[in-house]
């Protein structure tokens, strides 16, 4: 469990969360927050459904006000057609809603949502471009609906119920195929002026480096993600290096089948080369976190996402590289780096909770 650093008491606005506001007077404090707090208290018993839309599957769950999942269901992602995805969401909500009184529905997906959570501006895996998804779904579901970026949802969940409890300046990094980011500051999800803050994975960490799907070269997520781990391992195996023997054995000699997941499995089983590869990724992770600390000065970084299965094999070298690269090291307090606590359901839990919190804000 996270322990606040000296002088960093848990924020006074712990439960006065405000969704989606840019910096503005009174955001998260004052009478609006007090009114909100009373509404949140009234709604404690309310249940919400969180829906996590991934590239291959749509996962949904009924989540209570303490972040517990009461029931869950899954479907395959039905291609990229917006109407088909809406239909799957409706089916899941109807299935899970039987036997529960559902207050609201939160939808988490990769991509950019507008600041008030009503429109998908862009989603990389789905054909949503300026899609007014919230209005469509509210009509179909007859409940308040909120759209949220999946990394924001996961970060929110970790702050509310996981490794970031009590931290009033939290940065959450989700390591999967790419890198997602979220900031929770004084009990408020910080989403920037236009709703698209937190794209930390695209900080350029190696000018002229590996090409990124965002169009640039040398982005952090090309060095510190699950995909980066797989790419490095394949490159090593393709060079016919004897040190890659165990990795090659794990995929029957088929270099292209080596993924970050396989490297992580081999590393946990003790393969020295896989551990080295994870250590390299951990060092890139720590370097990027040091950059973020210079800009944002959080009290805690929570590291989540699939790559976190590697645990300390990833985070220990990250902590070391972070300490080595931190601006003004030795003359400033340093943020803690913690592993996420909620696992793969963080996005679903956070989307549900944000929808409940937000619907009470605006009701
Ligand atoms: Zn990029």
Q: How far apart are CA 256 and CA 19, in angstroms?
A: 42
Q: What spacing in Å lies between the alpha carbon of 215 and ligand 1's midpoint?
A: 6
C-alpha of residue 210 to centroid of ligand 1, in Å: 9
Residue 337: pLDDT band with limits 50, 70, 90: very high
Cβ-contact 122, 128 below 8 angstroms: yes
> Separation of 91 CA from ligand 1 center, angstroms?
35
How many A from CA of 87 to the centre of ligand 1?
A: 32
Tell me the CA–centroid distance for residue 226 and ligand 1, in Å: 15
pLDDT at 227 over 50: yes
Contact in structure between 310 and 277 (CB atoms under 8 Å): no
Per-residue confidence band for 44, with pLDDT thresholds at 50, 70 and 90: very low
Is residue 282 within 8 A of residue 313, CB to CB? The reply is yes
How would residue 336 be classed by pLDDT, with cut points 50, 70 and 90?
very high
pLDDT at 55: 84
CA of 16 to the centre of ligand 1 (A): 34
Q: What does the alpha-carbon distance between residue 181 and residue 224 come to, in Å, rounded to a whole number? A: 13
CA of 286 from ligand 1 middle (Å) equals 18
Q: Compute the mean pLDDT over every residue in the chain, rounded to the nearest whole number.
A: 87
Beta partners for residue 222, in sequence order: none
Cα(326)–Cα(289) distance, rounded to whole angstroms? 8
Q: Are 98 and 71 in contact (CB under 8 A)?
A: no
Burial pattern 109-148, b for ≥16 Cβ within 10 A else e, equals: bbbbbbbebbbbbebeebebeebebbebbbeebebbbbbb
Distance (angstroms) between ligand 1 centre and the Cα of 110 equals 14
The whole-angstrom distance between residue 43's C-alpha and the CA centroid of its chain comes to 25
Sheet holding 336-339, edge to edge: 188-189, 179-185, 169-175, 300-304, 336-339
Taken in order of first residue, the domains within the chain and their CATH numbers are 43-162+345-362 (3.30.420.40), 169-341 (3.30.420.40)
111 Cα–ligand 1 center, Å = 13
From the CA of 116, how far away is ligand 1's center (Å)? 25
Q: Hey, which bits of 31-185 come out as E strands?
A: 47-53, 57-63, 69-76, 102-109, 112-113, 120-122, 129-131, 145-149, 169-175, 179-185
CA of 124 to the centre of ligand 1 (A): 13
209 alpha carbon to ligand 1 midpoint, in Å?
11
User: DSSP letter string over 136-152?
Assistant: HHHHHH-S-EEEEEHHH
Helix, strand, or coil (residue 76): strand
Tokens coding 199: 């794209």
Give the distance (Å) from ligand 1 centre to CA of residue 269.
32
Strands 188-189 and 300-304 come out as unpaired
Q: What is the DSSP letter of 291?
A: H
pLDDT at 37 over 80: no
From ligand 1's centre to the CA of 27, what distance in Å? 31
Region of residue 78 (left: phi > 0; alpha: psi -120 to 50; beta: else): beta
219: DSSP letter? B
Count CA within 13 A, CB hemisphere, residue 53: 32
- Calculate how far, in angstroms, residue 217's C-alpha sits from the geometric centre of ligand 1: 7
Q: How far is the CA of 206 from the centre of ligand 1 (A)?
A: 11
Question: How many other C-beta atoms lie within 10 A of the C-beta of residue 60?
Answer: 29
CA distance 309 to 305: 8
pTM of the model: 0.86
Q: What is the pLDDT of residue 126?
A: 77
Instruction: Specify the DSSP element, H or E, that contains 3.
Output: none
CA of 303 to the centre of ligand 1 (A): 19
| Residue 38's pLDDT band (cuts 50, 70, 90) | very low
Q: How far, in Å, from the CA of 109 to the mean position of ligand 1?
A: 18
Q: Separation of 279 CA from ligand 1 center, angstroms?
A: 22
CA dist., res. 300 & res. 297, Å (int): 9
Rounded to the nearest whole angstrom, what is the distance from the C-alpha of residue 204 to the centroid of ligand 1?
Answer: 7
pLDDT tens profile 258-312? 999 999 999 999 999 999 999 999 999 999 999 999 999 999 999 999 999 999 9
Which string of DSSP letters, residue by residue, matches 276-324?
HHHHHHHHHHHHHHHHHHHHH--SEEEEESGGGGGTHHHHHHHHHHHHH
Exposed, middle or buried by CB within 10 Å (0-12, 13-18, 19+), for 75?
A: middle
Give strand pairing partners of 339: 303
Question: Is a pLDDT exceeding 50 seen at residue 75?
Answer: yes
pLDDT single digits (tens) 86-137: 999 999 999 999 989 999 999 999 989 998 888 988 887 778 888 888 999 9
258 CA to middle of ligand 1, Å?
Answer: 23
Give strand pairing partners of 102: 47
- Centre of ligand 1 from the C-alpha of residue 82, in Å: 25
Distance 177 CA to ligand 1 centre (A): 12
CA of 219 relative to ligand 1 center, distance in Å: 5
Other CB atoms closer than 10 Å to residue 311's CB: what's the count?
14
What pLDDT, in 10s, does the model give residues 320-332? 999 999 999 999 9
Distance CA 312, CA 267 (A): 11
Instruction: Please tell me what DSSP assigns to residue 7.
Output: T
Q: Separation of 203 CA from ligand 1 center, angstroms?
A: 7
């Amino acid at each position: 469990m996270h322990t606040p650093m000296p002088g960093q008491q848990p924020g006074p606005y712990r439960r006065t969360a405000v969704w989606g506001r840019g910096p503005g007077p009174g955001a998260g404090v004052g009478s609006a927050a007090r009114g909100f707090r009373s509404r949140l208290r009234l709604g404690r018993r309310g249940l919400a459904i969180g829906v996590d839309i991934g590239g291959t599957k749509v996962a949904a769950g009924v989540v209570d006000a303490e972040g517990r999942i009461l029931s869950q269901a899954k479907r395959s992602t039905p291609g990229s057609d917006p109407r088909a995805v809406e239909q799957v969401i409706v089916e899941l909500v109807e299935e899970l809603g039987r036997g529960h009184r559902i207050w609201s529905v939160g939808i988490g997906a990769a991509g950019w949502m507008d600041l008030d959570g009503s429109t998908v501006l862009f989603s990389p895996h789905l054909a949503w471009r300026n899609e007014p998804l919230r209005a469509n779904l509210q009509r179909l579901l007859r409940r308040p609906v909120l759209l949220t970026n999946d990394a924001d949802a996961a970060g929110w969940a970790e702050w509310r119920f996981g490794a970031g409890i009590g931290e009033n300046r939290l940065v959450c990094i989700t390591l999967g195929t790419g890198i997602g980011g979220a900031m929770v500051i004084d009990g408020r999800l910080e989403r920037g002026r236009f709703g698209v803050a937190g794209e930390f994975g695209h900080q350029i960490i190696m000018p002229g480096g590996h090409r990124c799907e965002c169009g640039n070269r040398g982005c952090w997520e090309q060095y510190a993600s699950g995909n980066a781990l797989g790419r490095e391992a394949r490159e090593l195996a393709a060079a016919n290096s004897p040190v890659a023997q165990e990795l090659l054995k794990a995929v029957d000699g088929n270099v292209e089948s080596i993924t970050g997941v396989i490297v992580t499995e081999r590393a946990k089983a003790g393969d020295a080369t896989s551990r080295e590869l994870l250590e390299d990724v951990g060092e890139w992770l720590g370097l990027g976190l040091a950059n973020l600390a210079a800009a944002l000065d959080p009290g805690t970084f929570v590291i989540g996402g699939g790559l976190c299965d590697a645990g300390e094999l990833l985070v220990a070298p990250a902590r070391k590289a972070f300490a080595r690269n931190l601006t003004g090291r030795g003359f400033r307090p340093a943020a803690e780096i913690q592993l996420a606590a909620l696992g793969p359901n963080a996005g679903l839990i956070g989307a549900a909770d944000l929808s409940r919190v937000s619907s009470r804000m605006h009701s």
